[in-house]
Amino acid sequence: MTDRIAPKSYTIAQITEVCGGTFNGPPDDAQRPIRGVQTLVDSGSDEVTWLVEDKHLRSLDDCKAAAVIGREDHLGGHPRAILVKDPALAVALVLDLFHRPASAPKPGVHPSAVADPTAVIGENVAIGACAVIGPGARIGKNTVICPGVSIGADVAIGENCRIFDRCVVYDRCTLGNRVILNAGTVIGADGFGYIFRDGAHRKLAHIGTVLIEDDVEIGANSCVDRAKIGATIIGRGTKIDNLVQVAHNVRVGPLCVIAAQTGISGSCRLGTGVAVGGQAGIADGVDIGDGARLGAQSGSIGNIKAGMSVFGTPARDSKEVFKNDARVRRLAALFENVAELEKRLAQLEAATHHPERG
């Protein structure tokens, strides 16, 4: 078995040190080997797990893990606890220990790849099998271009990027440093722009570009369309999930998170730190303020103020939506109550003496 595929192993003491925590168990137990990370329910005796939320406390009694990472208010008396202040961050650090990076081509240009003579390829760049690098393209040092990638003419890609298999970056697009494009992502295809004339849809030329800033990651099979004029922009540090559509001339601010199957229509503006749930839809030209949150499957047809949490279609303040939803769930009982009241009212009216009836 090669070192590349050999299982990793760390002692509880080493994991505790990485977490910056304290192990509740005896010193001898701290030397037990840990070979993986698993959930509370599925963990085994050579694995470490974690607990973040109160709702998972019920699973703790049946947990077989060698150690459990969590806060003191959850695990203070647990004999196998690794006590930390921030369990989510601690688990992220532990996952880094056991992470195995995806295989990558070696530095240099694979014999089957095609790099135009005018392309500028930086130091220690790796270009995989059957990749194509267009004329005038510039690729920064330590960037990895995986097999089957197509990089268009005059594309600029920064340093330490990772462009996974079969991505396409159209002409004249720009990627910053440490950008990750997961497999099948398409950057810079024409936006969806037509006018209807003479019985046919006439295509509008998209003469703009796409700018992706530093530290952005875009999930598999997502698309960021070219601007009609100017640039479609994805701000620094933003993370986009799989199967997301970002239309022409959208501007996504820094540090946003956008979950899978979201569709963002043309010319929308997302501020800093916006969070968008899965399958959300945002109509043309909508502005979403800093720190706003859109729940899953929300449909936003109007502007959203900074800091708001919205849900539903059309998207409205989450508290209002949940309150109205609770009222709707009581409608069946309400109808029954009203029917019963009508019945009683009819009985009372029938029993009441009316002079006009003699």
* Catalytic positions: 248
- Give the span between the Cα atoms of 46 and 108, in whole angstroms: 40
Tokens 């295989």 belong to residue: 103
Instruction: Round to whole Å and give the CA distance between 267 and 285.
Output: 5
Quickly list DSSP for 255-288.
Answer: T-EE-TT-EE-TT-EE-TT-EE-TT-EE-TT-EE
Cβ partners under 8 Å of residue 221, min gap 6: 183, 184, 185, 242, 243
- The candidate with the shortest Cα–Cα distance to 87, out of 109, 105, 72, 97, is 72
Query: How far apart are alpha carbons 122 and 353 in whole angstroms?
Result: 100
What does R_g of the chain's alpha carbons equal in angstroms?
29
Q: How many angstroms separate the CA atoms of 89 and 85, rounded? A: 9
Q: Which residue has the tokens 């037990």?
A: 32
Contacts of 158 (CB under 8 A, 6+ apart): 140, 143, 175, 176, 177, 178, 179, 214
Q: What is the C-alpha to C-alpha distance for residues 304 and 268, in angstroms, rounded to an integer?
A: 11
Cα(135)–Cα(153) distance, rounded to whole angstroms? 5
